[in-house]
Amino acid sequence: MPGFLVRQAERARLRSVSELAAIAGLRQPSSTVSNDDLTPLAFLTGIPSDRLDAMAYRPVDGGRHRYLGSAIDRDLIALRPRRVCPVCLKETGFHRMEWDFAPATACLRHHCRLETSCPLCGRRFGWEHPSLTECPCGASITALLPRIIPDAVVSALSDLYAITSGASLPWIPPELTDCTPSDLLKATLMIGMVVTGWNGRHRVASMVAAGVEAVDAIMVAGANGLHRWPASLEEIRRTGIRPPWVWAGSAPYLLHLRRVIG
């Protein structure tokens, strides 16, 4: 939805995306994760409301949000800064939903790093400038050379996307199969935090704020932990690390891990 608004503002030759959002009675990019009425936007653009609705991460029961056919916690969706694959943008000119997945650090189509800032002016990419492919300073985002990332990161991120689908996955430990996709995603990240000795706050936002290297390490360790279960379970038990779920509350995924690992 925020990418669609940017493209529509560009087509209308508006000075900012906020102009279009105001006319449509929307908040940019917050309209993506809200129940804002999309009828005015449908009238302005000629796009049916149901198609616009499919572009949004609508809130659903339990405080979660619709995402790629499943439902995940709001903190697993990250809209700021805007993250892009310069190769995808050059090929299609569209913003992809996959890039809004909070742990996403790479494009799985091109095995390259998702970019978040302009190398020319240093400005972080946002949703206000009416162009998906150009920085406000005039630099072309599509001209950025792709930064190739390790295969291990591609594999781990692929696993996380597979979990979001809610499909039955043979490599998920039996003890965790009754987790919702959202809880299983967070359980995977929490396992990665334990294995890597993460000492920050045990929250998705804190992990993302630590940078792509930290996210990559946690994703890879967490995904490997699931694939190597129960051997990885014994290794975690032998670390002697005080598990974060001892003090991090009673969220469902923590309860699952506390019961399984102890």
The tens place of each residue's pLDDT in the chain, 262 residues long, gives 999 999 999 999 999 999 999 999 999 999 999 999 999 999 999 999 999 999 999 999 877 999 988 999 999 999 999 999 999 999 999 999 999 999 999 999 999 999 999 999 999 999 999 999 999 999 999 999 999 999 999 999 999 999 999 888 999 988 888 888 988 898 899 889 888 988 888 889 999 999 999 999 999 999 999 999 888 888 877 776 655 544 444 566 666 666 666 5
Pairing of strands 112-113, 106-107: antiparallel
Omega cis (within 30) before 173 = no
Q: What is the Cα 111 distance to its own chain's centre?
A: 16
What is the maximum span of the chain, computed from C-alpha positions, in angstroms?
A: 61
pTM of the model: 0.92
- For residues 262 and 260, give the distance between their C-alpha atoms in angstroms, rounded to a whole number: 6
- For residues 180 and 8, give the distance between their C-alpha atoms in angstroms, rounded to a whole number: 36
**Neighbour-count burial of 74, counting CB atoms closer than 10 A to its CB (0-12 exposed, 13-18 middle, 19+ buried):** middle
